[in-house]
């Protein structure tokens, strides 16, 4: 299951805290029952328009990956938790909302594992909004 979370955080310091992001990527996989298989990769990108700058982090999992991108001046963050195994997406989403102090957020869940593609299958993407 691939959890895609996008939301607003009113804490600019948090959104540019590389150490916070690194520690989250070190610790969070284990909390949701996943196996981290790399160190976190953290990057700061500010060679851009002022409203686009932010930090990004990525970690490989046995189950796939977690990726996070912040846009500091826009108070915005994109989070991907992609696992080839099922996991408790409600718990994961709530945990992330708290960790990033999201005031508003949207979660999309996309099923990535197909034993056979079935055109016309009921749309497996589910959306949930919070804070609106």
Contact 79, 100 (CB under 8 A): yes
In the complex with a second copy, the residue whose CB is nearer, 98 or 123, is 123
Work out the burial of residue 99: count CB atoms within 10 Å of its CB; fewer than 13 is exposed, 13-18 middle, 19 or more buried.
Answer: middle
Over the window 51 to 90, marking each residue x when it contacts a second copy by CB under 8 A and - when it does not, the resulting string is -x---x-x-x-x-xx-x-x-x------x-x-x-x------
Q: Which residues contact 74 (CB under 8 A, 6 or more apart)?
A: 51, 52
Residues that bind a second copy (CB under 8 A): 2, 4, 6, 37-38, 41, 43, 45, 47-48, 52, 56, 58, 60, 62, 64-65, 67, 69, 71, 78, 80, 82, 84, 104-106, 108, 110, 112-114, 117, 119, 123, 125, 127, 129, 132
């Amino acid at each position: 299951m691939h959890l895609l979370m996008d939301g607003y955080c009113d804490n600019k310091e948090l959104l540019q805290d590389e150490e916070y992001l690194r520690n989250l990527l070190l610790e969070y996989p284990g909390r949701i029952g996943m196996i981290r298989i790399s160190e976190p990769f953290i990057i700061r990108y500010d060679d851009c328009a002022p409203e686009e700058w932010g930090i990004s982090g990525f970690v490989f999992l046995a189950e796939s990956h977690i990726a996070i991108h912040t846009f500091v001046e826009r108070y915005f963050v994109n989070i991907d938790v992609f696992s080839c195994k099922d996991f408790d997406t409600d718990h994961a989403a709530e945990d992330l909302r708290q960790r990033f102090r999201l005031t508003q957020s949207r979660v999309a869940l996309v099923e990535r594992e197909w034993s056979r593609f079935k055109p016309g299958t009921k749309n497996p993407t589910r959306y949930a909004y919070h804070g609106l």
